[in-house]
Structure 1
Amino acid sequence: MRRTRSSAALVAAAVVAGGLALASPASADPTPAGTFRQLVGVGSDTTQDVLNALAGDTVAGKDYAATAVKSASGAGLASYDAIEPGTGSTTSTIQTRSGGPSFLRPNGSGKGRLALSESLTGDKYPDSSGVSVKGQVDFARSSGGPSTAGTALTYIPFARDAVGVAVKGSALDKLTVDQLHDIYSGTLTQVEGVTVHPKIPQSGSGTRKFFLSAIGLTDATLSPNIPTVQENQADEVVTEDGALAPFSVGSWIAQNNGVAPDHSKDAAAAGAHLAAVQLPGDTGETSPVTKSNGKFIPVNSYYENATFGRDVYNVVPSRAIDPAGMFFDKDLYDVFVTSGSHTAALATDAAETVIADFGFLNEPYNGSINPNKHAKFGGLEESGVDASTPAAPGLKATPGDAGVKLSWTAPAATGLPVTDYRVTLTGLDGAVVAVKDLSATTTSYTFGGLALGTYTATVAAANLNGTGTAASWTGAVKYASTTKATTATTAYGRTPKVAVTVTDAHGVVPSGKVTVKEGSTTLGTGTLDASGKVTIGLSNHLKVATHSLAVSYGGSGKLNASSTTVSLKITKATPSIATTAPSTVSHTSRAKVTAKVTATGTTPTGTVKIYEGSRVIATGTLNGGKVTITLPKLSRGRHTLHAYYAGSSTVSAKSGANFTIRST
């Protein structure tokens, strides 16, 4: 059962009423020393203590091993403090993986997000003088939202906190937003005659950024005379009358209730407290905390206020919590994400009891990755990094048998390399049919086994900044067809034929048109009959040669187009020769011989020669397939002659039958 904010406060009150024993201040990175766990977090000190407890470590003398949060596979949290436990050093290093590098401890939300960003890019942390931290950080604790636009990082709300003002002296018991603005801009130096001594958390602190925004200032408009201090440590900061500093209310509650390592109880004993603030729109002041059974608990109305109430986040790489992605980290997802029927391990009743103990309010949106439910998106928080996402790939789609094959070329290079491709298929109604993430070296993918219909496929390249512009194809998915064709050697002048059969493997009767082409020239078309066959007659004047024909089926409502090639051999026509000549002629006269050459489908052209034996005695040229040739004078006697047609580019040569002329 999920708790609401009000019930979380009651849980906190019940716990403290139950006599939670105070222990000596203690806090540590994953214990015992040398312990390495799978899910490494760094950053904000506002949430470090509660994350340490949820990791199962000992916090303020209490062992939380029994309530350690883990993924379904048993992966646990490793939460590293913003400053070195025990010494308070801000220059110490941490080692988060066995055999990994040691690097400067990230102090604050901004530094935590920077370390996470550079864990992804492989760059050096915290700058070029540091070391590469690639793969060393899995999440960042953050008490504020993104500083950089983008979608590379998802800010998952974890709980509700508020920012109050820790003060000393009765003159600062009640403050307004305008007073805080003027104090921190440097224009108001006294309140009720008491000189104020404002302090501000270190650069990169989420509390610093949030507080300045709440009072209408930025780092640029903040008075340069205000000293920087480590956040949420009143003992070192709120020491004199008139001192004030922004402070996490949750941290104040946890420290002063003895739940978190103490950095404030001495200051509180000396009079430090959280001021009541006149919230925008109110006429009176609201205190951030109240007491129940001697223990501090949150004031819900202050936490809920839009000016000083804030969500605190765990920041993770967006691609690591995408179940459809190739970089999906199920352990990270199990621990941090609440989506649909999946509940984050950090949102269980046991975890939320711990969260309430540390002064935070539990929210029903703990673990949300929906921006409409308090989640946020941000870019890599690394200066100088190219924030662009890839352009659209070059996409080609080839329909297949109840599927489609997508092939693409990589987009132009950006500052960050392509890490993967997201391929998505949606139906005509826009519903997602399938999603596939592929490696950066993959340039094709086939969706198969689809129902017939119209689909849209998109391919988008992604880098660490997120997914780029998608290339898109929309078309029909049909069954494959197979086209087969045969021809027979055909003589010039006769009609060549292409016999075509189209089949498929799904019992669909092919229908539609078939086209025969040679190169870009269409030689013939035909329509398939009820058995998927058609015979297409071509021109009877194709040149004598072997022709390579492309036979294409145009497809139908259920079948894809298909094609094949076939060879067609056209040979020369075979002619017939008929001669007409006189049987006798005077030796003083010249006989005339008429030759007629015929062939199927064509009128032969060319020359005809009259032979006597092997000697040519006369020649003539055909005209309309006929020629009359005048012979020379023949000597007395019997002459045996024959006509010979020499042939052409389309008709073969042929010798005619012998005939006899008697010369008298």
Structure 2
Amino acid sequence: MRSVTRKLAITSAIAATAFGAVVASNGAALADPPSGTTPAATDIVSGGSDTIQAFDNGLSAQYNATSPASKYYSWDATPAGNITPKTGATSIPRPNGSGSGISTLNNTTNTTLDLARSSRGPNAGSNADWFIPFAKDAVGWSAYTGGNAPHDLSTTDLQGIFNCSITNWSQITDEGTLPNAPIDVFVPQSGSGTRSFWLGAMGIGTPLPSCWNTVNPEENEGTDPAFVGDVNAIFPYSLSHYIGQVYDSRGTTTDAPGVLDANRSIDGTEQILTASKAWNSALPTTYIRNVYHVVRQSDWADATEGPRLKALLDRSTNNGYICKNAATLIASYGFHSLGAACGTLQAGN
């Protein structure tokens, strides 16, 4: 197995410039607060998941255009380094991934961070936070375009590949004769919600399998140098994020599939419906998840902070903006509607 030095950080100047140029159907999408803008102490700021950061950038632009009492700003998962999320806040390491966002939320107060973006659901055992779902996503698999992976893999095949009981394409016998070539298994960075969800779907706990590549690329990006020329690469991928990148111009120079292709199938079911440019809701439920914004329960109940959060995140029947006004925006980033389940409160951490 080769070992390629992991990128230390995605080139910040390229990422900021490229994504700043992306225009959402409902307003300009911005990476981080706009240049020269420092969120006010009373504004809402978030960090965490890469999977929903593009949507939240679009949400920030659309919501703030309504001139709310407290504006909303979303800090991207990369580049690495410290950020000062809002006026008066202490400097913190930029949260990268759902786990990092939730951990940062629970180790600070709303003077620093108001909510975490999360592509994983709540863990049992603590009622510190409310997980508030707003859309559905699916996680599938991607592989090197034109490489040795077949178009279709069964769930049994995928589980064997990721638990390392299948290490060579030739061991897969239900897809015709495949090349005699070692499979190069990649998983996203530690703390990634997509990583934790995928490992759960694959039935993988601890200790972790030993055949994985030592490089852990940023989730939902096929632009990592480790993938270049690797015709045996396989990598889990948020299908909503992929659709946003490929069909809806939601990506950037680095936030893109690169050499990877998620237009594959599982158990004979296509992951992507290319005609409708949507992920396939007929995929096994094992691969479908909710995506969330996470807030402290104490903040949700607070007389000052609570109304700010509820104006953005609450259920449509309570006039929460996302659930009442952002259906078109949600679809334009590749996610599926949660319907009446949008804005429900789920306890956990």
The TM-score with structure 2 as length reference comes to 0.80
The one of 190, 195, 205 aligned to 1:218: 205
The one of 145, 159, 174 aligned to 1:181: 159
The one of 339, 346, 349 aligned to 1:376: 346
- Any residues of structure 2 matched to 1:192-591 within 5 Å, and which? 192-193=178-179, 194-223=181-210, 225-227=212-214, 228-236=216-224, 238-239=227-228, 240-257=230-247, 258-262=249-253, 263-267=255-259, 272-278=261-267, 285-292=268-275, 296-302=277-283, 305-322=284-301, 326=303, 329-338=306-315, 341-349=317-325, 351-365=326-340, 367-369=342-344, 375-379=345-349
Please report how far the alpha carbon of residue 321 of structure 1 lies from its aligned counterpart in structure 2 after TM superposition. 2.3
CA distance in 2, matches of 1:366, 1:53: 22
C-alpha contact (below 8 Å) 2:184/2:212 kept by paired residues: no
Aligned length: 306
CA distance in 2, matches of 1:21, 1:356: 12
Give the match for residue 636 of structure 1. Answer: none
C-alpha RMSD of matched pairs (Å): 2.5
Q: Equivalent residue of 1:307, what SS?
A: helix
Q: Does residue 1:141 correspond to 2:120, yes or no?
A: no
CA distance in 2, matches of 1:82, 1:296: 26
Q: Residues 332, 344 of structure 1: CA spacing in aligned structure 2 closer, same or farther, 3 A cutoff? A: same
Per-residue Cα deviation, 1:141-196 (whole angstroms, up to 9, x for no partner): 00001235221101101100010111122533111222222212222111223321
Which one has the bigger strand percentage? 1
Q: Which amino acid aligns with 2:347?
A: F
Q: Does residue 1:68 correspond to 2:63, yes or no?
A: yes
Q: Does residue 1:109 correspond to 2:92, yes or no?
A: no
Q: Residues 312, 111 of structure 1: CA spacing in aligned structure 2 closer, same or farther, 3 A cutoff? A: same
Identity score, percent: 28
CA distance in 2, matches of 1:69, 1:311: 25
Q: Which amino acid aligns with 1:329?
A: G
CA distance in 2, matches of 1:148, 1:119: 21
What stretches of structure 1 of length at least 5 have no aligned partner? 1-19, 57-66, 85-89, 121-133, 279-284, 370-374, 380-664
Q: Equivalent residue of 2:274, what SS?
A: strand
Which one has the bigger helix percentage? 2
CA distance in 1, matches of 2:122, 2:129: 9
CA distance in 1, matches of 2:115, 2:291: 13
CA distance in 2, matches of 1:222, 1:205: 17
Give the match for residue 82 of structure 1. Answer: 77
Please report how far the alpha carbon of residue 36 of structure 1 lies from its aligned counterpart in structure 2 after TM superposition. 0.9
Q: Does residue 1:158 correspond to 2:134, yes or no?
A: yes
CA distance in 1, matches of 2:88, 2:111: 12
Q: Equivalent residue of 1:359, what SS?
A: coil
Q: Which amino acid aligns with 1:250?
A: S
CA distance in 1, matches of 2:323, 2:221: 28
Larger RCO, structure (CA 8 Å, separation 6 or more): 2
Per-residue Cα deviation, 1:74-107 (whole angstroms, up to 9, x for no partner): 21111000012xxxxx2x1111122322211000
What stretches of structure 2 of length at least 5 have no aligned partner? 1-22, 170-177
CA distance in 2, matches of 1:277, 1:200: 18
Q: Residues 21, 39 of structure 1: CA spacing in aligned structure 2 closer, same or farther, 3 A cutoff? A: closer
CA distance in 2, matches of 1:238, 1:207: 18
The TM-score with structure 1 as length reference comes to 0.43
Please report how far the alpha carbon of residue 315 of structure 1 lies from its aligned counterpart in structure 2 after TM superposition. 0.5
- Any residues of structure 2 matched to 1:573-612 within 5 Å, and which? none
Q: Which amino acid aligns with 1:289?
A: I
Per-residue Cα deviation, 1:523-546 (whole angstroms, up to 9, x for no partner): xxxxxxxxxxxxxxxxxxxxxxxx
Q: Equivalent residue of 2:131, what SS?
A: strand
Per-residue Cα deviation, 1:274-296 (whole angstroms, up to 9, x for no partner): 32111xxxxxx11221223xx73
